Amino acid sequence: MTGDGVDETETALPDVCVLTHPLGAAGENATRTLLEILSAVTAVSLVTAYLPEDSGIRADHEVTEVSEKGAAQSTILLAAVRFLGNQLRMCRALYRRDEEVVIFFGATAYLIPILWAKLLGRTVLLEPRGDVPLTLRLGWEQRMPSPVAAALAGTVRLIERLGYRSADGIVTYTPSMATELGLDRYAEKLHTEGARYVDTDRFSPETPYEKRRRVVGFLGRLDEEKGIRELAAVARHLPDDVTFRFIGDGPLRGWLETELAAEREAGHAEVTGWVDHEEVPAELNDLRLLVMPSEPTEGLPTVILEAMACGTPAYATPVSGVPDVVRADETGFLMEHREPDRIVADIGAILDREDLTAVSQRARDLAVAEYSFEAAVDRYRGLLAEVAAGDGR
């Protein structure tokens, strides 16, 4: 220990610059979480295209924003030009910084600054937040023929692969996420325990599980890729003593309220609208089961970790990093089929299980043991120590 009480091994860890793409609300939250973890072990800064106007990151961390939020792009070409311009400005920002390690968080297709950072002698780590090419393809398919969208997404995937090959290390939330993204081929430089944390003090079982009503629900953005239309069909066919609650807002909220008008009137379905993040623990404490069908675009939904910390088991699609957390019949339940009638049957069977309270406790125990702030800090301290030692992984 030094005279000021700081562990000398911690002071030897390399400084870190986190580089991200433009951030929306979900990305801003994930980035803030990563910065908080890294700040506990070393000096950290952020380079990004831009942050949401109300982001608290600016007050807490050193931030370089290389552009301002522009109007929605009317064509793919204009979006590509802006994408290229942001990369070049990020290269200039990196040249002016001196951190030894650059973590490309979610920005896995930013090949130009990846190569530039390598040229500057920095250690480059890529940390995907999900499947970027798939996310882009799903969005592009709403604006152009599917073959064109697939071809463009394929180009992005190729660029991303070149980035992975060039990086000194790759960090995924869990082993299953690495497998789903096809990153096992980089085993010599792959770190598979980089999951972010959940505040296990604020997200805790305030309502004893055995006292909760038979309310199941979804919490998140009410959008196509979240399986909202399937869940609406599920809500219509659940037993009368089960209520399905939709917590959140998004493009499908109006459709959902109209579609479930009769069920809402009867008290079998609820649509709460948007809730502040401060209110999320209370919402999760009011559920017996979190239901999360989704496409494999997200690495590990934060809401699943938050629910588990509240002692609320999740019934979720086994995509990306989910199976490493939602362990079948142990800490939660995996959704093997997306057909509404199968989901209805599974929810009924789950709610009738005699061991649900035990599943709730195991979910809470896992969240505390592996996904608390302290556990996350230990993971990144070990990762950076390996980087400082010059290990391949």
Is the fold of 8-197+372-389 the same as that of 209-371? yes
In whole angstroms, what is the distance from residue 383 CA to residue 387 CA?
Answer: 6
Structure tokens at 17: 């610059």
The pLDDT of residue 76 is above 80: no
Mean pLDDT value across residues 269-277: 92
Which pTM does this prediction carry?
0.88
Looking at residue 12, its pLDDT comes to 78
Q: Which residue type occupies 298?
A: E
Q: Which top CATH class is 209-371?
A: alpha beta
Looking at residue 3, its pLDDT comes to 38
Domain ranges in the chain are: 8-197+372-389, 209-371
Work out the pLDDT band at 7, boundaries 50, 70, 90. very low
In whole angstroms, what is the distance from residue 134 CA to residue 155 CA?
Answer: 11
Mean pLDDT value across residues 273-284: 93
CATH number of 8-197+372-389: 3.40.50.2000
Q: What are the φ and ψ backbone dihedral angles of 129, each rounded to 5 degrees?
A: -100, -10
Percent of the chain with pLDDT over 90: 73
Q: What is the pLDDT of residues 83-117, one digit of tens each?
A: 899 999 999 999 999 999 999 999 999 999 999 99
Looking at residue 72, its pLDDT comes to 53
Higher pLDDT residue, 224 or 330? 330
Work out the pLDDT band at 392, boundaries 50, 70, 90. very low
Q: How many CB atoms lie within 10 A of CB 315?
A: 20
Mean pLDDT value across residues 233-253: 95
The torsion region of residue 227 among left (phi > 0), alpha (psi -120 to 50) and beta comes to left
Mean pLDDT value across residues 227-232: 92
Mean pLDDT value across residues 139-146: 85
Q: What is the pLDDT of residues 42-67, one digit of tens each?
A: 999 999 988 888 888 988 999 999 98
Percent of the chain with pLDDT over 70: 94
CA distance to 38, 45, 267, per residue, from 325 (Å): 22, 30, 32
Beta bridge mates, 289: 216
Distance of CA 330 to the CA centre of its chain: 22
Lowest model confidence (mean pLDDT) among 8-17, 179-188, 247-256, 362-371: 8-17
Higher pLDDT residue, 26 or 252? 252
**Residue whose tokens read 């996310």:** 135
In whole angstroms, what is the distance from residue 128 CA to residue 194 CA?
Answer: 10
Q: What is the mean pLDDT of the chain?
A: 90
Mean pLDDT value across residues 341-355: 96
Q: Which residues of 27-56 are buried (b: 16+ CB within 10 A; e: fewer)?
A: bbbbbbbbbbbbebbbebbbbbbbbeeebe
Lowest model confidence (mean pLDDT) among 2-6, 14-18, 190-194: 2-6
Looking at residue 300, its pLDDT comes to 87
- Residue 372 near residue 2 (C-beta atoms within 8 A): no
Looking at residue 21, its pLDDT comes to 85
Q: Which residue type occupies 330?
A: E
